Amino acid sequence: MKTIKGPAVFLAQFIDQQAPFNSLDGLCKWAADLGYKGIQLPTLDKWLIDLDTAAESQTYCDDFKGKINSYGLEITELSTHLQGQLVAVHPAYDLMFDNFAPTAVKNNPKARTAWAIDQVKKAGVTSRRLGLDAHATFSGSLLWPYFHPWPQQPDGLVELGFKELADRWLPILDTFDENGVDVCYEIHPGEDLHDGETFERFLAATNNHKRVNILYDPSHFVLQQLDYITYIDHYHEFIKTFHVKDAEFKPNGKKGAFGGYGQWRNRAGRYRSPGDGQIDFKSIFSKLTEYGCDVWAVMEWECCIKSPQQGASEGAAFIAKHIIEATEKTFDDFAGGNKDQAHLRKILNL
């Protein structure tokens, strides 16, 4: 068994134009003051981390890591959620996802995809330079508009979608493999990898590439009414990163899993701050510890009711309370004895 590391915080939702959220130093001091021991870093904003430079310069990475360490913090993982999303975009979402792309590749899906693939590869090289062995990302999606089988899906559509998705990711996965870093896909609605079966489809399409792994976030399974505890039993060997985010599902006679196009506050399934939703985190931390999952517990704030300031201030203590120090002693050792064949045979009257 392994003791889960933490608490840590994903910085993406806290970046802002106002201090202390508009600089690396400000974010580090803020996180450390709240009691966090690690930070998960988004990589889209060059003022936070410049992937182009980091992938080429060990000196840049050493200085970058040193600054974060100076605040008593560790880098848990880099994140390319937004770049990973752009690796595969269905045309229905082209205009909306262009918001995440640099001006030079907007309105040019092929150029945008090439840019995204290059950025994620650079994150793999940078992770190695920073001494990291896991990376957080999205898979992107070519098939999400067809998740409900109406109109009826033509035979082979899903298979072709996963083949194309795998073809785009294989060069990235090979780069990560060369750098000794696992790619952890956040299993998430809107992505082609959104549950267990779709993860398995993608894994098979990549010929079981050893760098294909999971970012486990139970909140997304609550919204799908998927058993997030048993999920760990099925996929614990792939879980290399972990988001601590809560959720609740409260359907009624007018809305359910699809949400009726409502805003987050009005949906039956909605994200909450850790401890405010329905997720059984005691069981999750127990399962992950029991299976020896070597992960950081990273708080992600996405709550439609509670402020990010309160969510962040409560999150460190919430995680710390749930981390289980894995035992190295069996509680009934005192009742055992030395292995002695003669004694064993005597017990059995042999």
Are 112 and 164 contacting, i.e. CB atoms less than 8 angstroms apart?
no
Q: What's the DSSP call for residue 203?
A: H
Region 40-64: mean pLDDT is 98
Are 43 and 78 contacting, i.e. CB atoms less than 8 angstroms apart?
yes
pLDDT tens-place string over residues 218-258: 999 999 999 999 999 999 999 999 999 999 999 999 999 99
Please tell me the predicted confidence (pLDDT) of residue 336: 67
Please tell me the predicted confidence (pLDDT) of residue 335: 62
Check whether 121 has a pLDDT greater than 70: yes
Q: What's the DSSP call for residue 3?
A: P
Query: Structural domain boundaries of the chain?
Result: 5-347
Check whether 288 has a pLDDT greater than 90: yes
Mean pLDDT over each residue of the chain, to the nearest integer: 96
| Cα gap 222→189, rounded to integer Å | 11
Q: Buried b vs exposed e over 171-185: b needs ≥16 C-beta within 10 Å?
A: ebbebbeebebbbbb
Please tell me the predicted confidence (pLDDT) of residue 257: 94
Residue whose tokens read 């996802």:
97
DSSP string, 108-123: -HHHHHHHHHHHHHHH
| Cα gap 141→43, rounded to integer Å | 20
Check whether 285 has a pLDDT greater than 80: yes
Q: How far apart are the first and last CA of the chain?
A: 37
Assigned CATH for 5-347: 3.20.20.150
pTM exceeding the 0.75 threshold for the entire prediction: yes
Would you state the torsion angle of the CA atoms of residues 314, 84, 68, 174, taken in this order, to the nearest 10 degrees? 130
Q: 207 in helix, strand or coil?
A: coil
Share of the chain above pLDDT 90, in %: 94
pLDDT tens-place string over residues 299-348: 999 999 999 999 999 999 999 999 999 988 777 766 666 778 998 898 89
